[in-house]
Structure formats: C-alpha cells, structure tokens
Structure 1
Amino acid sequence: MLKYSNFDLKIEEYMLYCSSRNLSPKTLKSYETTLKLFSNYLVKEHTVDDVEDVTKNHIRHYVKFLQERGKYTCMEEKGNNKPSARTDFGKPISVNTINNYVRNIKVFFNWLADEDEIEKNPMLKIKLLKGSERIKAMLSEKEIKSILNSFNKTIFNEYRNYIITLVILDTGCRISECLEIKVDDVNLTNQVVVLRYTKNKKERPVFFSPKLKKELNQWLKYKDRYMTNDLLFPTNRGTLLAINLYEKALRKIGNELKIELYPHKLRANFAQYYLLNGGDILTLSRILGHSNLEVTKVYLQFDDESVNRQYQKFSPLNGLNLR
C-alpha cells in the first residue's frame, strides 16, 4: 500500500484549496511542481517529511541548492524524457525563477499558518534574492514598425495576427485574454474592450487609442466579409485561435528581424512605454490586471538606452537658456 508523507498530504489539501479558488491550470501546475520538488529535496537531503519540521534553514539550504544545480537536472534523476538533450540543460537557474519558487513556497506556508496547520511559519524571515537577470532591451520604435510591417495584411491569418499584435501593444492584455475577446466585448464608441477570460477570473475593462479604434473598425469590416463569428480573432475556419499558433507566427517574424519576440514581450513593452511616457504605476497595475503592485514593479527596470532617451527629454539643463 502506497504511503503518503505528511508533506504530500498537505500539498494535496492545498491544491484542493487552490482549485476551489478557480486558479488557472498554469498557476496550479506551477504551485504543485514547486512544492513537490521542494518536498523531494527535504526528504532526500534532510529526511524531513512533515511540514511542521521545516525550518527557515531548510529553505535557505534549498535556495543555495537551486543556485548550484543546473536546469532540468532533477528531471534526469527521475528518468524524464531525456532532459539532457535540451540546449539549456545544466545551465544556471535564473534569479527570477528561483524567486518564483520562493514565492510559491511562501504562499503555501502562509496558507498552512492561516489554517493552523503549523505553529511557526518558516518563511517569515525568508527574503527574495537580490538582483535580477540582465535587463532585456525594450523594442525600439523602429523595431516595432518593422514587426508590424512584416505582416502580409492581404492574407486573413496574417492580417488577424497584425491586429492581435496591435491590441497587445496598445492595451497590455495577455495573449490568453486577447484571443478570447468576442466582438460584442468591443465598444468602439467608448474605445474600451472588456476582457472576460482573465487570469484571476474577474472581468477587466481596458481602453484603447483612437489609432487602434480605426484599425479595429477596418478589421471588423474585413472579417465580416468572410465569416459570421462572435470571436474577434477566429481562425479561418471560425474556431478559437490556439496561443501556440500566434506564438509561432510571432517567433518567425522575430527570427527574420533577428529580434527575440514572443507575446509577453509585447505586453512588457506596453508597460514600459506606458511608464516612460508618464503613466503612473498604480494605474498600470490595474490595466495589466495584476493582483498587487509588487508584480507590476518588475516593469520599472529599463535598459540604459531607454533611460538615456527619457533623460534627454526631461533634463533640467536642456530646458535652460544659458546664453
């Protein structure tokens, strides 16, 4: 008979709680994978299999372990699908990834404390790692124009992908939210679209510019000539467009232009341009649908070129007549 440890049982209870909150499958998978990897480490390295026995030192040792082990090495130990064949196998795990693990573990132990399952929360004094990955350069205006000009708007699929790209760049919505938009969710008069299939399951209105209004109006006329469909961005067969198909189209353009390109990069560029153009972070957090301000603060990081460009616009000395 298979025996489950106390830690495993608490993970199962926690996942049941998370499922009851209607969290996305992606979030659920992230929580469960993180916690099971941590549980395996505790048993193997410290013979700890009870949540009550976990201390802050165990967690600090685990962070050190993550910093020292390479990517996917734990998968090879379990005999998973030849992870060593991956090009990034064994490479260092990024600071951001480790911090995500720490956040997931912290949420778990906070839940245990709230449920009175543990007397002392070992995560209380655990802080995230300082420093982050190298700041990735924003897309320049020239690059954005090149990306948009790469779509062949005479072809249905490419014209649709062009409009999707505009929507993400202009509203900052997630690709998953964008592809679920229905025609009736778009109000051209008030320049607002209601996102109904969001990460936190709460509807969120986002506004768009006059330029996007014009583009959307043209797209709707074009789409209606070929099909009657309530989806704003259907496939040419009228079905829901899969995220990976749009990602593939975007990646192809990126390869041609020698630009690293994926949907979240468009969302990140919306956020950074919004801040550089004078937008405030509180409003941005609401636009992006973030659960708290800490998540939004990642977009406060700018590459040197962007900072210099913004500095030249607002330098005090440049505004003075010195002669």
Structure 2
Amino acid sequence: MDFLVVERRLAPLTVESYGMDLRSFLAWAQENGAGEPSAWARTTVTARLGALRRQGKSDRTLRRHLSALRAFIRFLVREGAVEADFTADIVQSAAWRRLPKTLTDEEVDRLLAAPDENTLESRRDGAMLELLYATGMRVSELVQLRLGQVRLDAGFCLVHGKGEKTRLVPLGDVARKRVADYLAEVRPAFRRGRLSDYLFLTRRGGPMTRQAFWFRIKIWSHIAEIKCEVSPHMLRHSFATHLLRRGADLRALQALLGHADISTTEVYTQVDRDALRKMVDRFHPRG
C-alpha cells in the first residue's frame, strides 16, 4: 500500500479501506481463476463489481472498490505488470452516486444573513459560514485553520486537505470583510490572553470543533427557516453546484475542492442536470 501513501498521498483511513478492498479482490480473483494481474481485463473488474452488488453491498462500497482497483491498476501499468489501464472507461452507474443535497441561492442568502451582529458568537458564526461557502472547504478543514493560512490582504486561503494535500483558494470580498471583523473585534475577546494560533475560537478560548459548529449551524438554519436539515457539508455541495451553474470549469472546481479524482467532482454536473430536468418538467408545456 506504500504507493497509495507516497504517490497519491491518501489519508490513512482511505489507505486502510483500499487495502481491505484490494485484498478482497485478489482473493476473489484467485478463486475465479484470475490470480495473476496478466490475466485481468475490464470484464474482471466489472464481474467483481457485479458480484459485490449481488452480495447486497452498498453503492458507497461499490464506488470505493472501483476507486481502489483503478489506483492499483494504474500502479501496475507504471510497474509494467499490465499493459494498459482497462478501468479508465468503466463508468460508475448513476445509482452508485449518491447525489449531494444542496441549498438554493435564496436559502444560502438567508442562512448567511441569519447570524446577527448582536453577540460575539453570532459574528464568529457568520464569519465561519461565509468562509465555508466562499471556499467550499470541508468543515474539518475549516475548524483546523490557523491564523497564517488566511491572507486577507492577498485574498487567499491556504487549505490543508485530505492526505496532507494543500490548495490555495481565493476569497471573495464579503468573506474577507466578515473574517476581518471577526479577527479585529471577536477573536481578541475570545482569546482571553491565551496563546493560540487557531483561527476560530470558542468563548472559552479553545478551538472550535466540528461538533460545536454543526450545532451552531442548526440554530442558524432554523432561524433562516430552511425546511431541510442543513449540515456544514451542504454548503460545500452548494458552493460547487452554484459555481458549475454559472459556467465554472470542472478542472478548476476539482482544484478548489481538493478532489484527487475528477470523477468525484463530476457528480455535481449530475446535480445540475437534475435541477434542469425538474425545471423542464414543471414549466415546459409538453414536459
């Protein structure tokens, strides 16, 4: 599994999951007379995925197995163990892809406007929500931000993502303004003289946690009268979908989101197609 750690820089848990999937595949291939990589073909992989489906494995498991096999086959191609990557044209079934839930533009506006200026906590929460939607970062990346990672003067945020990968994400004017307000007036009051380089702090001076922010976002989504259950990750999904809808390049979006594989980013194109389909069904005279 060293190639996954060194070359693809995947997170430890992902490497562990891929390892389990590959060991399972190798055992299955051996049992089915295809123990050597030279005996593998596209049909070997599709047959394995079909066997997993018949076993009742979830869509998520199928996606992970395919990703693990793709990574392994590409490694074998580089090592000369197989001639070509026969997994490249294997398209994930639409049923395997759990389409992400997103907010509408109006719902995002209401959510970001919900934290008022009356309390220090609400001003901090407003900055966190604005930054989350402005960058599309994961909530784990948000709460781990250090002061040096946010450059308001340059208008960029340095995000440390999965697998120790770092990406540079631009900040819009609104996000910069709310974060600047938080840094100038809220964070000094929360720090209470303690030394901490975490960007977002609790009232007691400790770093914000994912669980605490999840609780806070539920409060603001209720105030914003958003009917569905809102999670921090929904803002990441909304960031991606709204950019694509306005013509953003898929490869650029992949870089902003920190996706290792563009197939992960492509799921957002399906979300937008579904929205268009619903619009046609609703408004077209022959829909």
Aligned residue in 1 for 2:142: 178
- What is the one-letter code of the residue matched to 1:60? T
Q: Distance between the aligned counterparts of 1:101 and 1:278, measured in 2? A: 32
Tell me which residue corresponds to 2:235.
266
2:94 matched to which residue of 1?
131
Whichever of the two has the greater Rg, that structure is 1
Q: Amino acid of the residue matched to residue 23 of structure 1?
A: L
Partner of 2:198: 231
Matched, 1:33 2:20: yes
Could you tell me which runs of 5 or more consecutive residues in structure 2 were left unpaired when the two chains were aligned: 281-287
Q: 1:252 Cα shift?
A: 6.9
The change in CA–CA distance for 1:123 and 1:261 in structure 2 (over 3 A counts) is farther
In 1, the alpha carbon distance for the partners of 2:22 and 2:203 equals 41
Q: Is the 8 A contact 1:233 1:241 kept in 2?
A: yes
Matches within 5 A, 1:1-323: 15-21=1-7, 22-42=9-29, 46=32, 51=37, 53-71=39-57, 93-94=58-59, 97-116=61-80, 118-119=81-82, 123-124=86-87, 127-132=90-95, 133=97, 135=99, 138-148=102-112, 159-195=123-159, 197-199=160-162, 201-220=164-183, 221-227=185-191, 228=194, 229-247=196-214, 249-250=216-217, 257-291=226-260, 293-303=262-272, 306-307=275-276
Instruction: State the SS of the aligned residue for 2:168.
Output: strand
Q: 1:26-54 deviations in whole A, cap 9, x for unaligned? A: 331332232233245445x5376555554
Deviation at 1:261, TM superposition (A): 2.8
- Counterparts of 2:74 and 2:270 in 1: how far apart (Å)? 29
Shift of 1:167: 0.9
Deviations along 1:219-257, whole A, 9 cap, x unmatched?
112111221532111344444444344345546766884
Q: In the alignment, residue 129 of structure 2 is paired with which amino acid?
A: T
CA gap of 1:120–1:275, structure 2 versus 1, over 3 A, is closer
Preserved contact between residue 251 and residue 262 of structure 1 (Cα < 8 Å): yes
Question: Which AA in structure 1 matches 2:94?
Answer: G
Tell me the percent identity. 22
> Gaps spanning 5+ residues in structure 1: where?
1-14, 72-92, 312-323
Whether the 8 Å contact between 1:136 and 1:303 is mirrored in structure 2 is no
Report the CA distance between 1:149 and its aligned residue: 5.4
Residues 126 and 257 of structure 1, relative CA distance in 2, 3 Å threshold: same
The AA in structure 1 aligned to 2:155 is: Q
Q: Which moved more, 1:231-240 or 1:49-58?
A: 49-58
Q: RCO greater where, 1 or 2, for CA within 8 Å and sep 6 or more?
A: 2
Aligned to 2:91, the other structure's residue is in SS state coil
TM-score (norm 1): 0.68
Could you tell me how far 1:172 is from its partner in structure 2?
1.4
Does structure 1 retain, via aligned residues, the 8 Å contact 2:133–2:239? yes
Q: Which whole-Å CA distance do the structure 2 matches of 1:299 and 1:245 have between them? A: 28
Residues 142-191 of structure 1: CA deviation (Å, up to 9, x unaligned): 32244345657766666544422221211112223222222232222332
Distance apart, 1:291 and its partner CA: 4.0
